[in-house]
Structure 1
Amino acid sequence: MIVAFTDLDDTLFQTLRKLPPGMPGLIPATLGRDGQPHSFCTPAQSALLAHFADSGVTVIPVTGRDPAAMARVALPFTSWRVLDHGLTILRPDGQMDTDWRGQVLTQLEPLQGALRDCTQAIAGLAEALGCRLSHHTAHETHFMTVLKHPDADAGSLERVQLALEHHLDSRGYADLQIIANANNVSVLPRYPGKAEAVRHLRQQHFSHATLTLALGDSLSDLAFMNACDLAVTPPGGQVLRTVTAAKLPQR
């Protein structure tokens, strides 16, 4: 049995803004809140998904999307699903894995004060820079604060990220982490996360798998990618950009 644990956005599909103008053969992969196509699979991404389906590979999304955003994904996932950056696991029947939920809540509760403090500390700068601040919850519990600039202004997002990093360091919040991309900056628990959710599924439900693949594009995916046997990453993604820019000795 082969299992592919895969990130979604910018790995299996992306918005038109990130694709060459007029690219042929695109297939809608998600819908926006208005019900219109929002993200698309390229022919290569569609071919990969078709190959997985034809080969009997079990495909499990591992995504930061919450259940509502996952419901707008049009791709036919039929197995387990890892949502909310690993804090929510849905069974193949769409019901929540309550055992995992209990473990997550036990670990989230002690972090509420630190999350609240980080949110309050960054709110003033975020407002001054025109960033939108939002609270994300899992199991009715705050687990992530996201700061997004309406124009994806790199300078503003960098200032927010640096301020958050300084605050975490100064307060000694080792159990929190910052993840960032071209669109937003977020602060959330370091554990549990995608990697712990993938390990949980491997141990509890896929211990018999002969091969586990991990697909992801961003640095925040690396932990769960390292929890699998082999990793696949798209060109131009954050992972390959970082590796390409690294000046490391070859030995």
Structure 2
Amino acid sequence: MRPLVLTDLDDTLFQTMPKCPPGKEGLRQMSSLLDGSPSGFATPMQQHFLGWLRDGTVVPVTARGRDVLARVAIEQAPAICSNGGCIVGDDGEIDRVWHDRLAEEARRVDPVADVYRAIADPLCTVRFRHWMVEENGLDLYVVIKSNDHDDQALAVLEQELAPRVPKDWRCHRNGNNLAYLPPWLSKRVAVRYLIDRARAEAPDRPVIGIGDSVSDVGFMDLCDFAVVPTRSQLWAAVVDGNGWVD
């Protein structure tokens, strides 16, 4: 039985050019910006890895919105987009049951747009850019990036913004990315929804979760097997203080 492979994308299956090994040849463009310029590249090893994964059913589980996922050279359906804010079915159509469920939960807490204004209005636009991610008319989460790619500046900003963020919201920072998610949104709950449906059809089908970030643990924990790039935020957390790694 072909495994179900639930995988993060950026910094897992490909990365930006500066993150690629110096002088590496055989890179394959995997993603592009809105203007068509290249943005993400897979090393030969990552290309072989993805080829192996395709012996199963590959399902992207990504913070990328559906429109941004469309600019990635990978399977588009099924897929989990926008940190779980949108599920695309096998037929390529949006899962309306999932969308309606999130919309109902969103009505019970602070509107994302209100939190976005509280966070973003005071920010210096010279130093930071920011936006609110939405899918199908539903506001989902907030993203902030440093215009200078200054990871430390985002670390300081995270501390400064903490009093403006509702206590039940989650904050995730990894590299030049600072994201704020409402309590009803996560990759974990979206993956559980897909796994439950897969288990109903085939209880013994192996499910593999792949990710590079500590936030990916939420969905990888639901899978039968977990795969982590060894040059990643998540693996660094795993080996930190581990006496078996010298």
Fold in common (TM above 0.5)? yes
Following superposition, the deviation at residue 190 of structure 1 comes to 3.1
Distance in 2 of aligned mates of 1:118 and 1:105:
16
Which residue of 2 is the match for residue 66 of structure 1? 65
1:237 matched to 2:203: no
CA 1:59–1:121: 2 relative to 1, 3 Å? same
Which of 142, 147, 151 is matched with 1:145 structurally? 142
Following superposition, the deviation at residue 165 of structure 1 comes to 2.8
Which of 72, 92, 95 is matched with 1:94 structurally? 92
- C-alpha distance after superposition, 1:40-86 (max 9, x if no partner): 11111111121123x3x1110000111110110112x1641000100
Q: Which has the higher helix share?
A: 1
Which residue of 1 is the match for residue 205 of structure 2? 210
CA 1:181–1:78: 2 relative to 1, 3 Å? closer
Structure-to-structure mapping, 1:47-196, within 5 angstroms: 47-53=48-54, 55=55, 57-75=56-74, 77=75, 79-113=77-111, 115-123=112-120, 125-127=122-124, 130-168=127-165, 173-174=167-168, 176-196=169-189
SS at match of 2:41: strand
Alignment size in residue pairs: 241
Give the conservation status (yes or no) of the 8 Å contact 2:82–2:140.
Answer: no
Give the conservation status (yes or no) of the 8 Å contact 1:90–1:97.
Answer: yes
Q: Which moved more, 1:84-93 or 1:128-137?
A: 128-137
- C-alpha distance after superposition, 1:74-114 (max 9, x if no partner): 12x1641000100100012211011111111111222344x
CA 1:141–1:239: 2 relative to 1, 3 Å? same
SS at match of 1:135: strand
- C-alpha distance after superposition, 1:134-187 (max 9, x if no partner): 12112212221111111121332112211233444xx5x22x110111112111
SS at match of 2:58: strand
CA 1:69–1:107: 2 relative to 1, 3 Å? same
Distance in 2 of aligned mates of 1:17 and 1:159:
23
Give the conservation status (yes or no) of the 8 Å contact 1:134–1:147.
Answer: yes
Distance in 1 of aligned mates of 2:114 and 2:160:
13
- TM-score normalised by length of structure 1: 0.88
Which residue of 1 is the match for residue 4 of structure 2? 3
Q: Percent identity over the alignment? A: 32
- TM-score normalised by length of structure 2: 0.89
Following superposition, the deviation at residue 219 of structure 1 comes to 1.1
Give the conservation status (yes or no) of the 8 Å contact 2:127–2:148.
Answer: no
- C-alpha distance after superposition, 1:179-215 (max 9, x if no partner): 1111121111233321111111111234315210000
